[in-house]
Amino acid sequence: MKTFLKREQVEEKARGTLSKFEDCGGSLAPPIDVDLVGELVYDLQIDWVVINEDSRTILGGLYPRKRRIAMNETHIEKFRQKPGLERFTKGHEIGHWVLHVDEASLDYPVLPGMEIEPDILCRDGESSWRERQAEWFSSALLMPADILIPVCQNSDLLHRPSLYKIAEKFDVTITALSVRLSQLKLNYMDDRGNLYRSREEYAGQKSFI
């Protein structure tokens, strides 16, 4: 397991991945081809299988020794109904590979009876630091700051239809975009979906209530 990383460090890892992708001939024009990022940069294959679930929804999984990302076929309809979720889940699993897998250890022999596949599963609603880091990575991978910010500068970020146009351009969910905009301090959305120019503006207005 790799050491704990701050969000700024995760952001840098995502930028490094995109730089390698561009060196391999990949395009950084949105929407970024996340499948091709996994294949060209890290030799990761993506396929669909049925993943057994416990009490929580599992959208995907990473199988490091096989260099394989598995998307849960059980939720294929959910992915269809929520554009951008499939791509974000793939970016999330690539994030686990970059941030949490020690590639050198994959070549170590394993003892008989030991688990061969150290599966990393994406459970819906899990909030461990490792899962948060994978979320940060996927967000930075699919919505790079140096590409997203210029687009936002020409858009009204307090106008909801404008946000949906940006989400469509980057092929991400409106939730993922909203979190990213807040991270970059471009706007802020409260729990009710109201939009503000910043968290500070929200806090100031809330103090009058």
DSSP string, 33-72: -HHHHHHHHH--EEEEE----SSS-EEEEEEGGGTEEEEE
How many helices (H) does the chain have, and how many strands (E)? 9, 6
pLDDT given for residue 137 in this prediction? 98
pLDDT given for residue 115 in this prediction? 46
The whole-model pTM stands at: 0.89
121/92 Cα distance (integer angstroms): 10
pLDDT given for residue 52 in this prediction? 85
pLDDT in tens, the chain (209 residues): 456 789 999 999 999 999 999 999 999 999 999 999 999 999 999 999 998 887 789 999 998 888 999 999 999 999 999 999 999 999 999 999 999 887 776 665 555 544 444 366 667 667 788 899 999 999 999 999 999 999 999 999 999 999 999 999 999 999 999 999 999 999 998 888 889 998 889 888 766 55
Q: Is the dihedral of CA 105, 109, 114, 115 positive or negative?
A: positive
pLDDT given for residue 118 in this prediction? 39
108/206 Cα distance (integer angstroms): 56
